[in-house]
Amino acid sequence: MKDTAVVTGAASGIGRAIAKRLAAEGYALALWDIDGDGLRAVAAECRERGVAVDAQRVDVGNLAAVRNATRSLGQAFDAAPLVLVNCAGIGEVASILDGSPEEFDETMRVNVRGTYNCCRELLPAMTEQGRGNVVNIASWFGKSGRPMSLAYCASKFALIGMTQSMALDLARHGIRVNAVCPGTITDTRMREEADRQAIAKGLLPAAERVHLIPLGRLGTPEDVANTVAYLISDQASYMTGQSINVTGGLWMN
Ligand SMILES: NC(=O)c1ccc[n+]([C@@H]2O[C@H](COP(=O)([O-])OP(=O)(O)OC[C@H]3O[C@@H](n4cnc5c(N)ncnc54)[C@H](O)[C@@H]3O)[C@@H](O)[C@H]2O)c1
């Protein structure tokens, strides 16, 4: 019997692919998202794999909501989750000149504070058990400043810093903390929305930037899910504090 894993942002895109991949590996799943309809559909897909699934509407940026959801896991599962995948995220195509302070705050609230909230509430059970795994879904925009992505870049740089700091503090508790930095991933709502905003601002959509990707294609949510599955497995037992690019070679540092 595999551990229980919490996957945030599980209703769509990359989070959905991670949930399905972990279900296929036999993990019991707690799926958190603000999109109730999407959650129900993904939960049903995961249950087809025969694993226990608890899906809850949770705004990860709201500490009280995350705390309530964490408490309720005790009724849903026999054992506390020992895997946390922080995938919930938002982003705007905007620079310092045309973005709003409100958008900046909301991006930091969901992407950074949301990850902080989930770690804060779920890590104590892992330290008690003396083992666990956290994977933060960052971005290659967390390694290189990109145009028209001010708040998003700030939030993803922060996630990489948090990943490294937590890895140092938690290693002695047997907990590994890593990040995945996806490149241009297709078939997600964020990608559709980013393309829509890019076109409206006279920029190229992702499909027209494929020639810049050495492996010659956009990434899939499954490409990211494969890396998450590896990082939480014993195959990666000597890896912590890493931020792994899944970019088709677009970014190499
Ligand atoms: N698509 C890409 O090209 C790409 C590239 C790099 C990184 N990422 C990252 O991957 C992650 C998933 O993005 P995606 O592309 O699958 O987009 P997506 O929009 O399909 O999925 C994001 C999910 O997060 C959920 N969410 C948003 N705000 C939330 C909140 N406050 N609380 C709980 N859930 C919330 C959404 O409802 C949605 O289901 C994000 O962190 C994103 O920054 C995506």
152 is catalytic: yes
Q: CB count, 10 Å around CB of 239?
A: 14
Position in ligand 1 atom list of the atom nearest CA 59: 32
At 105-124, the pLDDT tens digits run: 999 999 999 999 999 999 99
**Band (98; pLDDT cuts 50, 70, 90):** very high
At 192-248, the pLDDT tens digits run: 999 999 999 999 999 999 999 999 999 999 999 999 999 999 999 999 999 999 999
At 18-41, the pLDDT tens digits run: 999 999 999 999 999 999 999 999
Q: Does residue 38 line the site of ligand 1, with CB under 6 A?
A: yes
Q: What is the pLDDT of residue 1?
A: 76
Q: Of these residues, 116, 152, 230, 238, which one is catalytic?
A: 152
Position in ligand 1 atom list of the atom nearest CA 61: 31
Q: Are 164 and 230 in contact (CB under 8 A)?
A: no
Put simply, whether the predicted model's pTM sits higher than 0.95 gets the answer yes
Q: Are 69 and 32 in contact (CB under 8 A)?
A: yes
User: Whose alpha carbon is nearest atom 2 of ligand 1?
Assistant: 185
Mean pLDDT confidence for 43-66: 98
Q: What is the pLDDT of residue 2?
A: 92
Nearest to 59 by CA among 134, 101, 117: 117
In the structure encoding, which two tokens stand for residue 222, read together? 């499954």
At 130-180, the pLDDT tens digits run: 999 999 999 999 999 999 999 999 999 999 999 999 999 999 999 999 999
At 68-97, the pLDDT tens digits run: 999 999 999 999 999 999 999 999 999 999
Q: What is the pLDDT of residue 167?
A: 99
Q: What is the pLDDT of residue 157?
A: 99
Position in ligand 1 atom list of the atom nearest CA 88: 24
Q: Which amino acid is at 150?
A: L
**Band (3; pLDDT cuts 50, 70, 90):** very high
User: Whose alpha carbon is nearest atom 4 of ligand 1?
Assistant: 185
Q: Does residue 110 line the site of ligand 1, with CB under 6 A?
A: yes
Q: Does residue 219 line the site of ligand 1, with CB under 6 A?
A: no
Domains and CATH numbers, the chain: 4-185+220-244 (3.40.50.720)
Mean pLDDT confidence for 47-67: 98
